[in-house]
Amino acid sequence: MKLTTHVLDTAHGRPAAGLTLTLTRLSDGKLLTRSVTNSDGRVDKPLLDGDDFHFGVFELLFDVGDYFRNTGVVLPDPAFLDQVPIRFGISENRHYHVPLLVSPFSFSTYRGS
């Protein structure tokens, strides 16, 4: 059982490399990890796995405004999307994959495999 993510920059048609994200457990507000995506838009290791994998409600917070600014995109002030939070529940002993497809003005997610 593990939790993974993948971020795709749909505005440029490529993985979102260098995007910072955090994972928080909402029951106690504990920050579990802070990561930066690699050249494939993924994090190098699972966000949760092994003994750290537990049922509960979590939030992934993606710093998309900083990512787009760092790639040279001129955003309005304030940016339409600066941070994208995704709140989700883990209720099964299975692999949870939470991808983010993002542009400066839209995003979508789904439970992947």
The CATH code of the domain that includes 84 is 2.60.40.180
What's the total number of domains in the chain? 1
**Full-model pTM:** 0.96
Three-state SS for 52?
helix
Tell me the average pLDDT across 33-48: 98
Question: Which tokens go with 23?
Answer: 């994972």
Domain hosting residue 36, numbered range:
2-109
Distance CA 84, CA 58 (A): 14
Question: How many percent of the chain have pLDDT more than 90?
Answer: 99
Apex 109 CA angle, 81 and 95, nearest 5: 135
